[in-house]
Chain A
């Protein structure tokens, strides 16, 4: 059974064929008509969301709830990023690029030929499993309202949504808002720490890596429906990974640029720092020494 599944997966991956020095990779077909319709819809929903946010902000200001003092350009972290393990990280980055090109991407491209309702069920299923970590971590972060919402999502999707295969909660305006132990550590005051490229998984920092371990440990301890320690646990990780990869459009070295490592590192750590600013908006942290590289 296990071998057959692996063989099927390998067959999906081996979709490239070579003729006379020309290597041809079959890519998922493009769907421009549907993409364009989705873009129109998204533009409408984004502008609606923006109006709602503006109204909420105006209402909060009317009630006299002044938001935290706004950040000024002087508060921006330095452009340099804390990367004490750079040689090792660069090695991992190259390894990841090769692994992605030869194994991960062909697998996820093959997977994208599975009908999209099936893929969406798989995606919802994993998102629902992650809801356990979300509930626990919102509680640890002291954000109980969000924790209760996540618990509600989990209850609805696990029952009405048939074990998490369907996301009914979103239809009831309980939108997915995942969090994890990395965010909890940030809420507790930890900085991102050294930049870290994790083999296969990609860009991270020490804090986020600890967060990932914590999340996996929690799932393993909770062991929902015996999925993490039972007979199918061996299939869980790869399927989850392929599902996640197929939803990310990033392609290693599609920029063709020799500066890609630097660029990704810069953007990834700025994204984390922006999220940290959001977490600490009510209790601004002490200013950092300006000569410390970002993340330290």
Chain B
């Protein structure tokens, strides 16, 4: 996550946003404030979440992994809005073995495209273990929302699962004939972990892909509780208003300028930014700010797309949607200050309440918990979970729920925060054992 600096600077963009519409009537109550996650108070967990797995702890990787990018149009996609002209095709990445092999479909985390750093690490490990690997964007990634969503309003586990499932079928069916697939497994990290579980359960009734095993890496248990924690992290580490975001930008700029002056470099390049990140990012409050900002940037894109498609008019005038070439600076400013709870109350809930008779905001929240597949998680031996006891997106009760529900099919590591141990030797070895159905559960006293 070294590009956090870019992310931070990107978010800190421009003059104060106006919160005039904050007084607007909030008919729908936002999700109740969730309990804190254990990892949020844990310095090591925050650090791991920001810096990721140290390269010396990464599992053995193959020397070479072939890669193709696949662009494909989904026939059910909604008309592409002008401002999203570049997201017409769904983009996925594929690495093929040259012999018959099982396929693993890997789903990205919140807001991630189909070729993130984490996906690249997983791809290396999976390809090295003899799998074909297909990596997909998160259904919350704007490129997916535009090219493959049937609603344009992302964040609903069941609906996103159905859209993903349809896209997977279409892609797998059109893969070149020389790719011979013997079996299909599914995997995902973070929100993608929850998506993977839901897709497998949809497949269990429709049998179109015959997905064998699912490994869910560090999934949320309750979507809205997890993002609520990130909203709160933003409020406590950065502030609630735009003035606070601007203050963060000014502080960061001055810090970088002083570091750059003290260095002997003639360019602000990647090496400088990496060194600077180590100097700027070393306290819990800075880690928290970086994590909260990264999430907010993803949310801004999803919020914008949802508002545009649903016609809810929070930042996009439904009568006059922005055209190619229009400045979106002002919109970006406003969105920067908007938490997820506002996406829920003003875009997500109004859209789904209208389309799902008998539903209430409470039922929408309940439907976005892993409970919807609890029976399968409990009784089907082909679902596995990997998570960390200091994950930032889970609280104790949710972790206990996962442990109780999955029983012997869950591995809980004692470090890593959120995604800060993906690619580690132990995590990769367990993941490969789970996919192959030979995982024996946690061996007491095993060397990490």
Give me the interface of A with B, judged by CB distance under 8 Å.
19-34, 36, 39-40, 42-43, 46, 49-50, 53, 56-57, 67-68, 70-81, 86-87, 90-91, 94, 97, 146, 177-179, 183, 252-259, 261-263, 266-267, 270-271, 274-275, 277-278, 281
Chain B contact residue count (CB 8 A cutoff): 81
Please indicate the chain A residues that have their CB under 8 angstroms from the CB of B257 in the complex. Answer: 71, 75-76, 274, 277-278
Residue among B6, B13, B67, B246 having the largest count of chain A Cβ atoms under 10 Å: B13
- A97 CA to B86 CA, complexed, in Å: 9
Query: What is the CA–CA distance of A49 and B278 in the complex, to the nearest angstrom?
Result: 13
B389–chain A nearest beta-carbon distance, Å: 26
* CB–CB A256/B141 < 8 A: yes
The stretch of B157-165, B327-335, B338-346 that contacts the partner chain: B327-335
The answer to whether residues A256 and B327 also contact, given A29-B66, A73-B251, A262-B13 and a CB cut-off of 8 A, is no
Residues of B close to A74: CB separation below 8 A: 250
Partner of A36, one of B55, B71, B72: B55
Number of inter-chain CB pairs below 8 Å: 200
> Contacts A70-B258, A274-B256 hold; do A32 and B86 have CB atoms under 8 A apart?
no
How far is A67 from B267 in the complex, measured between Cα atoms in Å? 19
From B55, B68, B124, give the contact of A27 (CB < 8 A).
B68
Q: How far is the CA of A74 from the CA of B146 in the complex (A)?
A: 41
Partner of A80, one of B14, B69, B83, B95: B14
Contact between chains at A71 and B15 (CB < 8 Å):
no
B171 surroundings in chain A (CB, below 8 A): 22
* CB within 8 Å of A: which B38-93 residues: 54-56, 58, 60-73, 83-84, 86-87, 89, 93
The CA-CA distance from A270 to B304 in the complex, in Å, is 25
Assess whether B65 is in contact with A30, with CB atoms less than 8 Å apart.
yes
Task: Give 9 new A-B contacts, CB below 8 A, not counting A46-B271, A46-B274, A256-B141.
Answer: A22-B174, A33-B63, A46-B275, A70-B254, A71-B257, A76-B251, A77-B253, A258-B328, A259-B331
Query: Among residues 246 to 278 in chain B, which have CB atoms less than 8 Å away from a CB atom of chain A?
Result: 246-247, 249-251, 253-254, 256-258, 260-268, 271, 274-275, 278
Distance between B155 CB and nearest chain A CB, rounded to angstroms:
16
Residues of A within 8 A of B56 (CB): 40
Chain A neighbourhood of B260, CB < 8 A: 274-275, 277-278
Residue B442 CB within 8 A of the other chain: no
Whether A252 pairs with B86 at a CB distance below 8 angstroms is yes
Residue of B nearest to A138 (CB): B266
Chain A residues contacting B176 (CB-CB under 8 Å) are: 19, 24
Q: Check A31/B73 contact, CB under 8 A, given A258-B304, A274-B260.
A: no
The answer, among A23, A77, A263, for a CB contact under 8 Å with B71, is A23
Report A-chain residues with C-beta under 8 Å of the C-beta of B86. Answer: 97, 252-253, 256
Chain A to chain B contacts (Cβ below 8 Å), 19 pairs: A30-B67, A32-B121, A36-B58, A46-B275, A56-B264, A71-B254, A76-B257, A79-B13, A79-B14, A94-B325, A252-B86, A253-B87, A256-B87, A258-B83, A258-B304, A262-B328, A267-B10, A278-B261, A281-B261
- The reply to whether A32 and B124 contact each other, CB–CB distance below 8 Å, is yes
Query: Is the CB–CB distance between B327 and A271 below 8 Å?
Result: no
Task: Tell me the bound Cα distance from A253 to B85 in angstroms.
Answer: 10
B70, B124, B247, B329: which contacts A30 (Cβ < 8 A)?
B124
Which B residues lie within 8 Å of A258 (CB)?
83-84, 142, 301, 304-305, 322, 328
Q: Report Cα–Cα, A22/B124, bound state, in Å.
A: 24
For A263, list chain B residues within 8 Å (CB). 10, 13
> Which among A39, A79, A259, A262 is the interface contact of B12 at CB below 8 angstroms?
A79
User: Could you tell me the distance between the alpha carbons of A226 and B14 in the complex, rounded to whole angstroms?
Assistant: 48
